Structure 1
Amino acid sequence: MGPDDSETDAGVADDMIVAGRIILGLKALRDQLGCSLHEALDAYAARYEVLRRERPADFTKSHEEYWANFSS
């Protein structure tokens, strides 16, 4: 694993989060963080909130639409 791998992994997770690809985003975070599914879901939700604030124009769905078909 090279020095830029963690940044690349974070970028992949961010891309998945912005695109609304929740399952793939969770997998990317689990791989990156080496954590449980529950921990990845917590990290995903926290990162989602940050990205939603920092990059609102990148999201094509409202908050409600984004989470509408996902149940944990």
Structure 2
Amino acid sequence: MSKDTTLDAVSRLYQEFMNVPFPPTLGGADRAGFDLVMVDTDTAAWIFEFSPGSRTAANSKRKVDAVCFAASAA
């Protein structure tokens, strides 16, 4: 699989992921010492951070913070 094809697939899967709400029954759930909400938001933030076209030096940290905040507030 080429780099472009991989990035396209990751971008598509990320968009699908962002359209699915976090299961309310898992809010605050702990598995192996990890809060599942934080695992979910951290994963989303890192995928977003490294997606094509989403990074700039000036605002990359703000974008990660905003994604984490929005996902945890949902």
Shorter-chain TM-score range: 0.3 to 0.5
Q: Normalization by structure 2: what TM-score? A: 0.37
Between 1 and 2, higher relative CO (CA 8 Å, sep ≥ 6) is seen in 2
Q: Which has the higher helix share?
A: 1
Q: Please say which structure displays the higher CA radius of gyration.
A: 2
Q: Which has the higher strand share?
A: 2
